[in-house]
Amino acid sequence: MRSAFELTLVNGPSGDPALFADLVGAGRAVLCDLGTLVGLAPRKLLRVSDVLVSHAHLDHFCGFEELLRVVLGRARTIRLVGPEGTIDRLAHRLASYSWNLAGSYREGVSFEVLEVLEGGGRRRATLALADRFRPAPVECFEAPGDLVREEARLSIRAVPLDHDVPCLAFALAKPRHVQIWRNRLEAMGLGTGPWLRTLKEAVLAGAADTTPIRARWRAPEGVEERILPLGTLRNEVVEIVPGQRVVYVTDCAWTAANVERILSLARGADTLVIEAPFLDADRAQARARRHLTAREAGTLAHWARVRRVIPFHFSPRYAGRYALLEAELRAAFEGRPGATAEPPPGARDPSPTPRENGGALTISSEVSG
């Protein structure tokens, strides 16, 4: 079985926030936050179709130009989602450069920027090289719910969080799908064609192995056809890629509203990538800066019953001692007595639902799936 997403913390767990989520088999990727991107190869930046910006603190937003330089002369639209103010911020960033040479590019990038506002409002505008990134008309609309993108193979949700400034948490989800191995298809002497859709539908419907599948394809000598049992094709050329949900949370205060919104995205998720900047002993610092502690991050993972948690955004004050943050988070995630945080004042009962799968804690700067 393959994973739907391959996740990489571009700058590791202690550097600027930037999570590269490669959509396996889709030739594209989602980038969560724009901390410095110098560590990301241009060929990977070229796969970015969607950018999700949590908020505009420098360490989450300073890498924008590194992306811009790679995609500038490309005929593509990159969708960028951010909190209130993102359109203006991006327009000002782009307006700080001279674009007199924009006309010399045969092709150019466009950014379709979507703001998710507190209370369900949305604002959208497109900034394009072809227009020298001049501020475009802003479209305002209401959007009930937290969905910001829905495709057959990918959905993205966003919820506003309080970090003293507007901030967003995100969930990326891919449904279960069927992958066809073309090289194995060729080895069996079969060609590609619309019949592969029938095959995928039969696999997803759980049809019997004896179900006949009519393979029909165009060859140089004319149309060819063979009828094979579904079981043979299922064993030889098909792989089922399970659905997966990844939730990205940074930066936020320990408040009842934040806890509720994070849990609304993260309950039952496969992977929770979450900030864990401070030890519980330094909780006063975390409160003052509107951040979580490692204990609170692990407690959220415990309440949400995620399968695994990846902590990051470690404060440099713990350099050489990051294992302490990981240990505190691990104890809370496992729900050890006395290791979890008390719910914030006013929070609804966040007791976890019974765990369906065995929990596994992964702490890594580079993980698959």
DSSP state of 133: T
Residue type, 154: L
CB of 290 or CB of 295, closer to Zn ion: 290
In whole angstroms, give the CA distance from residue 311 to residue 326.
Answer: 7
Of 244, 327, 264, the closest CA to residue 293 belongs to 327
> Which of the stretches 49-57, 75-83, 172-180, 226-234 binds Zn ion when contact is defined by CB under 5 A?
49-57
* Least separation in angstroms between CB 251 and Zn ion: 4
Pull the structure tokens for residue 65: 């130009």
Using CB under 5 A, pick the residue from 16, 84, 115, 251 that binds Zn ion: 251
To Zn ion, the closest distance from the beta carbon of 181 in angstroms equals 44
Run of H or E including 218: strand 212-219
Instruction: Assign residue 25 a region (left: φ > 0; alpha: ψ between -120 and 50; beta: otherwise).
Output: left
Q: How far is the CB of 200 from Zn ion (least distance, A)?
A: 43
Q: Work out whether 57 is an interface residue with Zn ion (CB under 5 A).
A: yes
Q: Measured from the CB of residue 253, what is the shortest distance to Zn ion in angstroms?
A: 10
Interaction residues for Zn ion, span 190-209 (CB under 5 A): none
CB of 277 to Zn ion, least distance (A): 9
Q: Considering only 34-42, 126-134, 247-255, 292-300, which stretch makes contact with Zn ion by CB under 5 A?
A: 247-255
Nearer to Zn ion, 22 or 275 (CB): 275
- Which residue, 57 or 283, has its beta carbon nearer to Zn ion? 57
User: What is the number of other CB atoms lying within 10 angstroms of the CB of residue 259?
Assistant: 26
Least distance (Å) between residue 235 CB and Zn ion: 50
Q: Which is nearer to Zn ion, 57 or 216 (CB)?
A: 57
Q: Which is nearer to Zn ion, 130 or 165 (CB)?
A: 165
Residue by residue, DSSP assigns 277-313 as -B-GGGHHHHHHTT--BHHHHHHHHHHHT-SEEEEE-
Candidate ranges 205-213, 246-254, 265-273, 319-327; the one touching Zn ion (CB under 5 A)? 246-254
Q: Which is nearer to Zn ion, 84 or 251 (CB)?
A: 251
Q: From the CB of 123, what's the least distance to Zn ion, in Å?
A: 21
Work out how close the CB of 5 gets to Zn ion at its nearest, in angstroms, rounded to a whole number: 24
Q: In this chain, which stretch among 44-52, 56-64, 108-116, 118-126 interacts with Zn ion, using CB under 5 A?
A: 56-64
Q: What angle do CA 153, 159, 160 make, to 5 degrees?
A: 150
Residue closer to Zn ion (CB basis): 161 or 331:
161
Continuous segment of H or E residues that includes residue 326: helix 322-333
Count residues near Zn ion (CB under 5 A): 2
- For the stretch 166-192, what's the b/e string if a residue is b when 16 or more beta carbons lie within 10 angstroms of its beta carbon? bbbbbbbbbeebbebeeeebeeeebbe
CA-wise closest residue to 173 among 158, 188, 191, 161: 158
Dihedral sign, Cα of residue 201, residue 240, residue 217, residue 229:
negative
- Which of the residues 282 through 301 are near Zn ion (CB under 5 A)? none
| CB count in 10 Å sphere of residue 134 | 12
- 61 vs 333 by CB, closer to Zn ion: 61
Choices 44-52, 53-61, 93-101, 224-232 (CB under 5 A): range interacting with Zn ion: 53-61
Whole-number Å distance between alpha carbons of 359 and 367:
16
Nearer to Zn ion, 251 or 328 (CB): 251
* Separation CA 47–CA 42 (nearest Å): 9
Q: Output the smallest distance, CB 249 to Zn ion, in A.
A: 12
The interface region with Zn ion, picked from 23-31, 140-148, 218-226, 243-251 by CB under 5 A, is 243-251
Residues near Zn ion (CB under 5 A): 57, 251
